[in-house]
Structures are given as C-alpha cells and as structure tokens.
Structure 1
C-alpha cells in the first residue's frame, strides 16, 4: 500500500485476531474498519497481519473496506461493468499486468486531479469578475468613508482609510462611465478566453 511510509519502520502494524478484532500496535488500541479507512484517506501506511500466523492480510482487509463502503454509503464508485471485467481478468494471461496498470492509472488520475484543482484555484485569482468585485468594494469603502467621516470600519472589513488620506477622484470621471468601462474590459477578456 502506498502512503507516507518509506520503510517498514513507518508502517503501522495492525493485528487481526480470530474474533475478527483489529489491534493497532502503535496506539495499543482496538480499532475498526472505519478507522483503517480513515487512516487510508489520511495517507497513513499500515499493514494488517494475522495475529496467529503473521500472514500479511492487508489486501483482504482493504478489499473488505471497499465492499463495506460500496454497500453502506449508497454511492458506488466501482461500476458493475468494471467489476465484471475485473472478474473476467482472473485466470487471463494479462492478469499479472493488470495490478500495475491499475496502480499507474490511479496515480495518473490523482496527479490530474491535483493539477485541475490548482488550475481552478489559480483561475479564480485571475478572474476579471473577482478583480471588478475588489474594485467595487474599494469604491464602496471610499464612498462610505466620505458620507460617514470618522468611521474607520465598513461592514466588519479591514479599516477603511480616512477621507483625508484618500486620493480625490478626478472630477471629470462619471462613476457610471467608470463601471461601464470596467464591464467592457471584462467582456473583452471573457471574449478572449472563449476563443
């Protein structure tokens, strides 16, 4: 199982007893399959061994966790057709290649998921709508400070600068014209993104 561990010293040993109880040797406590599922999600590497024989049964326990998740959550990750194809691979000449292929596919899927999440977060930072909202908030703060001298906080936000410290807006600029120009610039950016 891939996780945070680099060698067996970092692997948590779980002992499974004949009474089906699981014992975490690191925390010296009995745990459940739910605990193992949580450890897996957190990237904690563990190995489950039969307490009597010392046989590694991690694969069986992980399979059991998957089956219980599929049954209890009501949401199925593994489609029926995939399961049928997986069962059909047992005894097939390609059976030995499948575990490596599935592992590489899952690693690739996770890498793409992280890249997509990062790209999405970066795109929010470059979003013209977010920039427009920021400018509008600054204009609102300036207007609030102008109409309520001495008030330094607006709607629980960062302290607004005092009116005397604010640069005076150019008298020839109409606020509606400024907003219209901002919206035109934003539409132009959106059109460029759509191409």
Structure 2
C-alpha cells in the first residue's frame, strides 16, 4: 500500500470535520481505516501523522484506545530501519525516568520541548546552513532548562534556592559550551552529507 494508500488513508470521507479518523486494529494485526473502508499499514499511519491527519486507533475487540502503543510501534520500526533519530543517551535517560518522581512531568515537558523546537525549526535549519555558533538552538535549550527548573521547583521547592548559587551560572555556561560543541559536530556531519 504505497503512496496511494496513504493518500486514501488520510482522506476522511466518512469522518466529520474536526473528528479523528478511527482505525481499528484486529487480532490478526491488521489495521482498518473506517473512514475509507480499507485496510492500511503502519507505514500508512506514519504518512497520516506526517500529513497532520488526526486519528485514533481502537482495539476492534475491546474498543480500548491503543493509539499510544501504535505510535510507539511506528517509532520502533523507524528506528529499526536505520532511520535512527533518538540517541542512545536520550533513550537511557528516558528509561531512567520511569518510576522516578519526575515521570509525571516528562510528557508535558517533552511536548513543550517539541513544540518549541517545531516553532524554531526554520531558524535552526537556517543557522545550521550558515554555520553560526550562536543559534536559536541555544535559546531553545535555555527555554527547556527553564521549564525543567520551574517543574522541579513545583515538585521540590528547595531546589530553586540551591540553583541560584553562582555555580549554577558556571554550569549553564558549561552546558552552552557543550551544546556548541555538539552543534559544531552536527554541522560537520551536515557538511559531509552535503558533499
């Protein structure tokens, strides 16, 4: 089901405007798009995500919403096919957050970080192309760190006072230097890919 299926899958002819497309997953692992009355694949669902088509995946037997696990499966498939985007260090840190007192904060923090990244995506691309070391990416990092500090302050009220010590600004400087080094390495990789 190549591009045609994705195009069909994203058309919600039986779906009211603003309503998500309902996809049913059957025991035989087949996915059925109820708006187009056709079977689709995980690849088709990935295309719907890229086309900003809202959908909800329901277990056909129980009616349970399994959208989260299906989206996670799409990410796993993308990562396994060589399109790795998630660094091992990030995955380790993410796993370590499960069961941690900060676990409940992570979904909203990650959503806010991704939204911030999306809003600044064109600025970041432009900065990488120009090779500028003082980029919006540093500002995104600072914003993300501020959000994490605010979240930590809510859960651990004494943490903010400890962070106000002069060592904190040195720590931020070290983080920015590390970020600049990472950006330089990414720029080098981009330059190599461009050749």
State the shift of 1:115 in Å: 4.2
Q: What is the aligned residue count?
A: 114
Match of 2:21 among 12, 19, 38: 12
State the shift of 1:88 in Å: 0.6
- 1:61 and 1:8 map into 2 onto residues whose CA distance is 23
1:49 corresponds to 2:58: yes
Q: Per the alignment, do residues 57 and 38 of structure 1 end up closer, same or farther by CA in structure 2, a change over 3 Å counting?
A: same
Give the aligned CA root-mean-square deviation in angstroms: 2.2
Q: Residue in 2 aligned with 1:32?
A: 41
- 1:89 and 1:75 map into 2 onto residues whose CA distance is 24
Determine which structure has more spread, i.e. the larger CA radius of gyration.
1
Q: Per the alignment, do residues 52 and 97 of structure 1 end up closer, same or farther by CA in structure 2, a change over 3 Å counting?
A: same
Q: Residue in 2 aligned with 1:190?
A: none
Q: Residue in 2 aligned with 1:61?
A: 70
* Unaligned residue ranges in structure 2 (runs of 5+): 1-15, 129-195
1:97 corresponds to 2:105: yes
Which of the pair is proportionally richer in helix? 2
- 2:70 and 2:121 map into 1 onto residues whose CA distance is 27
- 2:102 and 2:45 map into 1 onto residues whose CA distance is 31
State the shift of 1:75 in Å: 2.8
* Unaligned residue ranges in structure 1 (runs of 5+): 1-6, 121-195
Match of 1:79 among 87, 102, 109: 87
Match of 1:22 among 2, 20, 31: 31
Tell me the TM-score normalised to structure 2 length.
0.54
- 1:79 and 1:43 map into 2 onto residues whose CA distance is 25
State the shift of 1:114 in Å: 3.3
Q: Secondary structure at the match of 2:32?
A: strand
- 1:119 and 1:80 map into 2 onto residues whose CA distance is 25
Bigger relative contact order, structure 1 or 2, given CA contacts below 8 A and separation 6+? 2
Q: Per the alignment, do residues 43 and 9 of structure 1 end up closer, same or farther by CA in structure 2, a change over 3 Å counting?
A: closer
Q: What are the Cα deviations for residues 113-160 of structure 1, in whole angstroms up to 9, with x where unaligned? A: 13456899xxxxxxxxxxxxxxxxxxxxxxxxxxxxxxxxxxxxxxxx
State the shift of 1:9 in Å: 4.8
Q: Secondary structure at the match of 1:23?
A: strand
Q: Secondary structure at the match of 2:39?
A: strand
